[in-house]
Amino acid sequence: MQIQIQSFLNQWIFFQLSAKLKFAIKVSLSLTLAYMLPMAMGWNQPNTAAITVMLIASAGGVSDGVIKGIIRVVGTVIGATLGLMLIALFPQERMIYLLSLSFLISLLTYFYHAYQGDSTVFMLSAMTIMMMFVNGAEDAFLYGIDKTYMTLFGILIYTIVGTLLWPVQAAKETINDAPKGRVFVWFEPEYIKATIQLFFVYWASVAFWIYFNPPAGFLVVTLATVLGLLTTFSPLKPGLLIILVTIGFIFATMMYVFVLPSLVYGWELALFLFTYTFIAFYIINQQLTIFFLLGLFTLGIANDMNYNFAIFLTTLLSFYMFLIILMFFYNFPFSARPEHLFTLMKERFIKHSSALIRLENLHDNLSIFQKLQHYYHVQHLKTSVMKMKLWGSKIDTKYFNLNSQENIMALSQECEKYLNKERNIINCYNAMEEINWDNLKVKKF
């Protein structure tokens, strides 16, 4: 009996100290405060602050501090300034404005992927630039100031809660898949492809907005672009996203019909928001949480709730519109299938390792240009191995013959050992022979 009690206590202590539990509580509290405080003060657009908290939590890590908060504030202010400048320069030239906006968003997208620190600063800048135009050029300044203020408020709330409640010191690791210790990774092919892919997402959503005039207006373009920034060239599968979004919307519909109408007091709404967010961030993977939590923002939570199921369904339709655009461009114009990218990383590994062997055979007789070549191949070899591990773990080998997850991961491990000078490169090439590469080219559904 005593052993069972001790075991129960140990499990309870682990539950209490779970990093995932703490993170879910911190994000849930942040999002609840981001909603409730503006509503208590009578401020406009409290959902903007809540969306900001959701995006930061979904894209960032569990460690946050004052410096990160300040950097995010600076990024948001820069984005707001650029957004208002574009509207001031092209108030009547819509296509010139949209073209200029697309180049700015593309630049921020590339920085988002290439930067190996807290990339949320570039995501927030892109989001703020686009939000300036959600209501068009008319009253853009006042609307933009409100949006910027509420975005900054969301950052402030998230920073304060993250700093005061179970503060976590930032680990020395990267958000993306590049080697440790590098601030930017320039000229990486996948980052360039991701930027081009988001460029297509942006213009497809713009065309949809212009020709079909969806109920949400330019917000469809903003959401498609911002979520595309988080999902392009990521291991997230379109089918899984659609399922998760659908489950999130079904859950939101149940809340809209059976729970929200019965809430009377502020503390009841706060408990509802906290529980809704906690379920998302504790049960679901952090990268996928945002697609479940989208349902929360279809509820139209405000001080004066007007329940209209037709409007609610129209809002759901608007969300599905930009999600369909994201799904369409998941593998266009570049494939993001794990088996394709894993094969590509293998070919890149062979290319860079072969070049390094040729240069190292020259010993100390390297020219300055050859030393630069050596540095280039070493850095990209590191990146290729890191990505090989990432994409290899995402391949579903049940669709292929003569391939196993063990063989695929063994290749990544052998290449990493060669990279760390623990093994000879021949081990890596031997591991390559254990994989049927022709089978990885086509799925066997």
Tens-digit pLDDT string for the chain (445 aa): 445 544 544 444 444 557 888 888 999 999 999 999 999 988 888 888 898 898 888 876 545 567 777 888 888 888 889 988 998 888 888 899 999 999 999 999 999 988 877 788 898 899 889 888 866 666 677 777 888 888 899 989 998 998 888 876 554 444 344 444 457 778 888 889 999 999 999 999 999 888 888 877 888 888 889 888 888 877 666 667 778 888 888 999 899 889 998 888 889 999 999 999 999 888 887 777 888 888 888 888 888 878 887 878 887 777 787 778 888 887 788 887 888 888 888 899 899 888 888 887 776 677 888 888 888 888 888 888 888 888 888 887 877 777 888 888 888 888 888 888 888 888 888 888 888 887 776 654 3
Radius of gyration of the chain (CA): 24
- Are 297 and 258 within one domain? yes
Q: pLDDT at position 172, please?
A: 45
Determine, yes or no, domain membership for 65: yes
pLDDT at 32: 95
| 337 SS3 class | coil
Same domain, yes or no: 187 and 304: yes
Q: If you count them, how many residues does the chain have?
A: 445
For 225, other C-beta atoms within 10 Å of its C-beta total 27
Q: Is 276 in the same domain as 380?
A: no
Q: Give residue 164's pLDDT.
A: 85
- Collapsing DSSP states into helix, strand and coil, what is residue 188? coil
| Distances 284 to 271, 305, 356, 357 between C-alpha atoms, Å | 19, 29, 42, 45
Integer angstrom CA distances of residue 162 from 66, 75, 155, 211:
9, 19, 10, 43
Query: How far is 322 from 236, CA to CA, in rounded Å?
Result: 16
Q: Is residue 138 part of a domain?
A: yes
Single out the residue in 299, 328, 357 at which a domain terminates. 328
CB atoms within 10 A of CB 80: 23
**pTM, two decimal places:** 0.80
Q: Are 292 and 389 part of one and the same domain?
A: no
Q: Is residue 187 part of a domain?
A: yes
373 and 268 assigned to the same domain: no
**Shared domain check, 304 and 434:** no
Q: What is the pLDDT of residue 64?
A: 58
Select from 303, 328, 353 the last residue of a domain.
328
- Structural domain containing residue 106: 2-328
Residue 135 covered by a domain? yes
What's the structural domain count of the chain? 2
143 and 212 assigned to the same domain: yes
Rounded alpha-carbon distances, angstroms, from residue 376 to 187, 412, 421, 422: 10, 20, 18, 21
84 falls within a domain: yes
405/422 Cα distance (integer angstroms):
23
- The verdict on residue 333 lying in a domain is no
Q: What is the pLDDT of residue 320?
A: 80
Whether residues 200 and 305 fall in one domain:
yes
Domain shared by 302 and 348, yes or no: no
- Picking from 304, 328, 352, the residue at the C-terminal end of a domain is 328
Same domain as 243, residue 167:
yes
Residue in 314, 335, 444, 333 with CA at minimum distance from that of residue 391: 335
Residue 135's pLDDT is 65
Q: Name the strand (E) or helix (H) holding 13.
A: helix 2-17
The answer on 349 and 320 residing in a single domain is: no
**Residue 80 maps to a domain:** yes
Residues 245 and 348 grouped into a single domain: no
